[in-house]
Structure 1
């Protein structure tokens, strides 16, 4: 008669490696959960401010965190000669540009960079579309967002003249020598007929992706534990 005898052994280095790996995977899982919570909180804030009456932006410099996702109202003058065409922006399957124009705040030397909307690039990409820009005092209403913008491109070149592939407020500020509020404003109200589309997509919180990553890390921790147990059960047949 044969009896299967099983013994569990604890080799030092494999045990330490397994423990460290499991701890690491669990920590990464909880980190992803915390990122999901942060994104949910930011999304809730965006939803809250979207229902509020626009607040008037002060003429002095502000902090991004104090106004992020707020609807604000700004009065000032556009400077059309400093307009940027942000390339590779898609609307309903059509490639085009987002039009970014600095607005000098009234009674101030500070500027706000306004994303005025989307326009098609047209068939001839060598010719930029002409955007009518008001030169009189104007009131802009919009949503404050982070100024960091990255788009897909085939080139490492950040900009060519008025056409930019990726946008950095610091780079633009250094290039122009102007002082900007630390955000980008997504214009909502209509101004003079300029052919721009301002149907801004309402972003998803993105928390589902982080929840998925968290599950993967926790699953890796569980798999590591199971593999460790299986590999370290010594089996011996007794006759």
Structure 2
């Protein structure tokens, strides 16, 4: 095929190679789009769960998948002697702690961890924030999330008294001897205890997949353009 002195002369091997690469890239892009759609659907379901009435946490063991991101409530009493300070939590650029206290559910032997909120750290890290803990039976409400909270961990033994770098449920059970639900309540009650409860809404993560999909489609287009450029040659004039 010749157009304005340019001849399209593709070679078989380059055509096959370009077709294979482009098909693979398009399939990868479509896969990323499907992953983004799955995450958006899951986020819509989580949003729906968060708008439903709060459900009471039972005294029997539950599955994390059945309660994650749902609004829950638990009636019982705090055990302040087992409070831990989850370190390296930043709020508006200020370092601090998340205050984690177990709540005994009713009169049972079952407990649930409550993330009561954020408190700023003192410049002298040997001084922990003084936290006021209610006595007696109370009702705690909030959003259920995983009781396992991990960031970068250099050693499994990095626990200093009440200050913990990560919250490992099995390690906490071993340290306290408590029977615990696999969920933790992100408290949302309006309690005047000086703690900050501004929980970050989990993102679906679909934007990352959409970005990857765009990259795959862009690379497929680039391969196609390169293939066309390499397959087109200018015809020599008869007079030359």
* TM-score (structure 2 length as normaliser): 0.81
Deviation at 1:24, TM superposition (A): 3.6
1:42 aligns with 2:38: no
Change beyond 3 A, Cα 1:167–1:235: farther
Supply the RMSD in Å over aligned alpha carbons.
2.8
Change beyond 3 A, Cα 1:188–1:226: same
Gaps of 5+ in 2: none
Aligned equivalent of 2:154, options 131, 144, 156: 156
Alignment correspondent of 1:7 = 9
**Which whole-Å deviations, capped at 9, do the CAs of 1:196-226 have from their partners, x for residues lacking one?**
1112233443323322222112212222233
Further displaced range: 126-135 or 89-98: 126-135
* TM-score (structure 1 length as normaliser): 0.82
Change beyond 3 A, Cα 1:29–1:84: farther
1:118 aligns with 2:118: yes
Which structure 2 residues correspond to residues 81-100 of structure 1 after superposition, within 5 A?
81-100=81-100
In 2, the alpha carbon distance for the partners of 1:146 and 1:28 equals 31
Which 4+ stretches in 1 moved above 4 angstroms? 232-236
Gaps of 5+ in 1: none
For the residue of structure 1 that corresponds to 2:130, the secondary structure is coil
Equivalenced residue count is 233
Higher Rg of the two aligned structures: 2
Deviation at 1:91, TM superposition (A): 1.7
Deviation at 1:115, TM superposition (A): 0.7
In 2, the alpha carbon distance for the partners of 1:120 and 1:84 equals 14
Deviation at 1:57, TM superposition (A): 1.5
For the residue of structure 1 that corresponds to 2:12, the secondary structure is coil
In 1, the alpha carbon distance for the partners of 2:94 and 2:41 equals 33
Change beyond 3 A, Cα 1:99–1:23: farther
Which structure 2 residues correspond to residues 1-239 of structure 1 after superposition, within 5 A?
4-11=6-13, 15-16=16-17, 18-151=18-151, 156-157=154-155, 159-161=158-160, 162-191=162-191, 193-233=192-232, 237=236, 239=238
Cα pair 1:98 1:115 within 8 Å, conserved:
yes
In 2, the alpha carbon distance for the partners of 1:35 and 1:148 equals 25
